[in-house]
Structure 1
Amino acid sequence: MRKPEKKLGFGFMRLPVLDENDKTSIDMAQVEQMVDLFLEKGFTYCDTAWMYHNFASESAVGKAVSDRYPREKFTIASKMPDMMLRSEAEPAEIFEKQKAKLHVDYFDYYLMHDMNNVNYEKAKRFGAIDFVRKKKESGEIRCLGFSCHDTPEFLDRVLEENPYFEFVQLQINYLDWESEGVQARKCYEVCVRHGKPV
C-alpha cells in the first residue's frame, strides 16, 4: 500500500464556487492555488467522490491536479457510489467515467462509499464489491477500502465478511469520539482489532 508522506488530505468536497447557487461552478483558479500550496508543502492525498459538487468534483481534480502535476507527485482517492447503484452494469460504467474525469489510469485509494446496512446489501446485489476486488487484482486500484457511517457491530460484520479490504475511512473527531450516534471510538477499536488502518 502506497502511503501518503503526510497524513493531512485535501478533500475536494466543499470547494470555492463562482455562484453559490451552482455547486458545479467551481472556482478553478482558486482551487489550483490551493492545490499548488498543498503539494508544495509535501502533502499528496487528494480525496474526491462521484457525487461531490453535483458530480463536478472529480473533473476539478483532473484539471487542478492530474493535468498539472506528474503522477508520482500526488495520490488520488475516489469512491464507488454504492447508494446510487441501480444495475449490475453501473459499477464498471461509473469506474471508467471516474478514471476519465480524473485523467488517471489507476486509483491510489478506492473506497466503497458510505457502507451501511442498506448500501452494503445493494453493493453486493449489483456486484460492486466483486467488481472492485477485480480492479484491485488488475492494478487499477492500488489500495481498496470503504467509508463507514454505521454501528461498530455492522463494521465488524463487513470486515469479517471482507478481510481483503485494506483500510477504513471513519468519521472521527473529538465531538464524535464518545457520541452514541456516531460511536467513533468503538468503530475505531473494531478497525484496530481487525488490523485495518483508519
Structure 2
Amino acid sequence: MRKSRQQSKRVRNDQRLCIERRPEEVNQREVLNHWEMDCIESSKKEPSALLVMTERVSRKNLLFKLESKTIFEVMRVLDGLEIKMKRDFSNIFQSFTMDNGAEFKWTDGIERSIYYKKKRTTTYYCHPYSSWERGSNENANRLIRRFIPKGSDICQYSDDYIKQVENWLNNYPRKMFNYMTANEVYNQLL
C-alpha cells in the first residue's frame, strides 16, 4: 500500500519583486549596502538555523542564530537590528536578495519599519532553483560549513562561537580584493 504524501500549498505573494527588477547598479555591485540573505539549516531532527547576510560589494557577512527556520525568527532578527540601528537601518540594509523559502515569504514584514510608516528596505526574490543569483551568499554558506558541518545542531554552538565564525569570514583575505578582507573593503568604501 502506498503512503500518500501531503501536498503543501505554496502561498503566492504577488507583492514580491523578482530579481529582474533589481536596479542595474546593484546587479553590477557598484553600490554598497545591498545584501543577499539565506538560512543554513540545522540537522533534520533539529529546528534551529543560521541566518546569513552577505553584503554584495564587500562580501561582509553577518550571522545570526535562529531558534527555528521561520519568518517569525527572521523578523525577530531584522526588528532587533532596526531597534539597535534606528534610522541607520535603511542606509545599511538598502535591499535584500533572497530565495523563495518559507522563512522569507512575508515581504511586508521584512520591508516594513517598526518605527515609521515607510519601508525600511526593499526585497528582491531569486528565481526558483537559482541559487547562483545569490552567489556571494552561497559562497559564504560554503565557508561557514568549515566550522559548522552539515547535519550539525546549530543550537549547540554558542553565540560567541557564531561571532568567531563571522569574524573569521570578515577578516579572511580574498584574492578578488587583492588580499584585502571584507571588513577592509567595506570600511574603505564607506
Q: Compute the TM-score of the two structures, normalised by the length of structure 2.
A: 0.30
Greater helix fraction, Structure 1 or Structure 2: 1
**TM-score (structure 1 length as normaliser):** 0.29
